[in-house]
Structure 1
Amino acid sequence: MDLPLGIPVTSKEGVVCKLRKSLYGLKQSPRAWFERFAASMKKFGYVQSNSDHTLFLKRHKGKLTALIIYVDDMIVTGDDQAEMQNLQKYLASEFEMKSLDDLKYFLGIKVARSKHNIFLSQRKYILDLLVEIGMLDCKPIDTSSEQNHKLGLYPDQVPTDKERYQRLVGKLIYLSHTRPDIAYAVSVVSQFMYSPSEDHMGAVMRILRYLKVTPGKGLMFCKYGHTDVEEYTDANWAGSVTDRRSTSGYFTFVDDNLVTWRSKK
């Protein structure tokens, strides 16, 4: 192996590096890291929630002044800017870290902010996908799936490229994180990952042609001044032509903002 930076190069042959202790890559590394993080938060005056151990709270005279959520090496903070600045200084003294300011782009998701809302979109991800498969100049279509479709597994179906089908559907599943309008169509084509046919591939291409029309669509989160929770659900009873199983779906809104959705067979 090459010697790490900072280690002087010697002319001796047969020199090796001896590993004294390893943390990253071990099964217990996430637990060890979180215990270290939790101890530092408690030292700074935060209280760890008993119902959710990744939630840390800080109160002053009975009033909640700060809220921290630990999410896989990331910290999502509240609105108290003074408290956040003090916390950042403290954590910088405890860990090697840096502030990246407001999030703008993450894993193919663009984040646009204003004083009153946040908009999430995957426009570049969609355009890159269309370029990759040569469909940037394809004929667009207004709907992501055919109404009253009869997709299923049939004995006389013509098989298609299984590897290509699985790769495209996998990309569409990730894209549906910010595009609930294609959630149902993606859930349908994902049912045939291990035995796709040309008809199934045609349904995938229809989704891509629909995305050509709407690459800039996404999710908008706004401040409406309340925290009401609303949920809507529906089901297509015995709609599957293969096994007569139902397809159900639900949408959950918090403060009039769509936060969860799912379409499931």
Structure 2
Amino acid sequence: MDVHNAFLHGDLEEEIYMQLPPGFKADDPSKVCRLRKSLYGLKQSPRCWFSKLSKTLLAFGFKQSYEDYSLFSLIEGNICLHILVYVDDFIIAGNDISTIHRFKKYLHKCFKMKVLGKLKYFLGLEVARGPEGMFVSQRKYTLDIIAECGLFGAKPSPVPTELNQKLALAKGPLLTDPGKYRRLVGRLIYLTFTRPELNYIVHLLSQFMQKPLEEHWVAALHVVRYLKGCPDQGIMLSSTADLTLTAYCNSDWSACLLTRRSLSAYIVQLGDSLVSWKTKKQKTVSRSSAEAEFRSMADATCEL
């Protein structure tokens, strides 16, 4: 669902005045307008709108998540309803159609809403439904990355990184335009939402944002050439899997050649569906491979 003119619904808590709009003729040129509602362009507008929306959802019975403030959940017996908010766009997910319809009517009474139908595309995420479940990918987003780098005609790479590549010890000239490197790595970070196999190499590339070298840029382009061979890969959320949590963790002892810190990695599955994954450098130096493995296991246990 989408809200029309969302910021105009916000209530101002302080007095704000503005000059008369162009074309408005007044007897006294020193007169000004006092705002009754938040307008687009005010710094307070997003905060006022979200405050108004939060009060509206809480009045319906929702509870706001402490892990993600944009997530609201309603649980009444066996009925579950979840709302994910991005400014003025809502994703509604639930297991009871009548409750969803009742909530939609409630929103129409509070705001001017537009129903966009079943979720297909949201913030670069493409959702496809079938009898086997839901498939989430970022195909269009991936193709945009390939096009921006000008590698549509390049030969695809079978793997995202070369074997035994030591980017931390790279030596060579600095990249003349570090902005393009930062933009590409930033887009690759967003791509890891549906591409777990990129976590390791993107984690390495993101360590050289301040002063990237030419070799780092070549390694980033190598990832893009890998994406060219499989742009539509994503996450399959099965509809028939059992609700059993399974986690796998691993570590790479002293993987960082500069700090000698190890890498922790884990994935978590709900049945056959992959729901969480992470690759991150450990905060302290592990004195043995067993110690590094235990730290990785602790991270996976906390995620569970």
Structure 1 unaligned segments of length 5 or more: list them: none
1:179 paired residue number: 195
2:72 paired residue number: 54
Q: Evaluate the alpha carbon distance shift between residue 163 and residue 2 of structure 1 in structure 2; reply closer, same or farther with a 3 A threshold.
A: farther
Specify the SS of the correspondent of 2:34.
coil
Asked if 2 retains the 8 angstrom alpha-carbon contact of 1:233 and 1:248, the reply is yes
Cα separation, 1, equivalents of 2:47 and 2:141: 34
TM-score, normalised via structure 2 length: 0.74
Cα separation, 1, equivalents of 2:256 and 2:80: 49
Asked if 2 retains the 8 angstrom alpha-carbon contact of 1:55 and 1:67, the reply is yes
Is 2:244 aligned against 1:228? Answer: yes
Is 2:173 aligned against 1:158? Answer: yes
Asked if 2 retains the 8 angstrom alpha-carbon contact of 1:189 and 1:200, the reply is yes
Is 2:54 aligned against 1:38? Answer: no
- Which 4+ runs in 1 deviate beyond 4 A? 1-4, 9-16, 47-53
Q: Identity, % of aligned pairs?
A: 37
Report the number of matched residues: 251
Map 1:10-89 → 2, pairs under 5 A: 10-12=24-26, 14=29, 16-22=32-38, 25-26=43-44, 29=48, 30-39=50-59, 41-42=60-61, 48=63, 54-59=72-77, 64-72=78-86, 74-89=90-105
2:132 paired residue number: 116
TM-score, normalised via structure 1 length: 0.84
Q: Evaluate the alpha carbon distance shift between residue 102 and residue 137 of structure 1 in structure 2; reply closer, same or farther with a 3 A threshold.
A: same
Asked if 1 retains the 8 angstrom alpha-carbon contact of 2:124 and 2:138, the reply is yes
Opposite residue 174 of structure 2, the aligned amino acid is P
Offset of 1:199 from its aligned partner?
Answer: 1.2
2:4 paired residue number: none
Opposite residue 81 of structure 2, the aligned amino acid is L
Deviations 1:103-158 (A, max 9, x none): 1111222111123311111111121222222111011110001122111155x432
Asked if 2 retains the 8 angstrom alpha-carbon contact of 1:121 and 1:219, the reply is yes
Q: Evaluate the alpha carbon distance shift between residue 2 and residue 127 of structure 1 in structure 2; reply closer, same or farther with a 3 A threshold.
A: farther
Cα separation, 2, equivalents of 1:57 and 1:264: 34
Q: Evaluate the alpha carbon distance shift between residue 75 and residue 169 of structure 1 in structure 2; reply closer, same or farther with a 3 A threshold.
A: closer
Cα separation, 2, equivalents of 1:141 and 1:2: 60
Specify the SS of the correspondent of 2:113.
coil
Cα separation, 1, equivalents of 2:20 and 2:125: 36
Asked if 2 retains the 8 angstrom alpha-carbon contact of 1:223 and 1:255, the reply is no
Asked if 2 retains the 8 angstrom alpha-carbon contact of 1:123 and 1:217, the reply is yes
Asked if 1 retains the 8 angstrom alpha-carbon contact of 2:158 and 2:226, the reply is yes
Q: Evaluate the alpha carbon distance shift between residue 84 and residue 54 of structure 1 in structure 2; reply closer, same or farther with a 3 A threshold.
A: closer
Structure 2 unaligned segments of length 5 or more: list them: 1-18, 282-304
Aligned match for 1:99, one of 107, 111, 115? 115
Asked if 1 retains the 8 angstrom alpha-carbon contact of 2:249 and 2:264, the reply is yes
Offset of 1:198 from its aligned partner?
Answer: 1.1
Cα separation, 2, equivalents of 1:48 and 1:133: 43
Cα separation, 1, equivalents of 2:32 and 2:169: 58
Q: Evaluate the alpha carbon distance shift between residue 133 and residue 250 of structure 1 in structure 2; reply closer, same or farther with a 3 A threshold.
A: same
Asked if 2 retains the 8 angstrom alpha-carbon contact of 1:239 and 1:245, the reply is yes
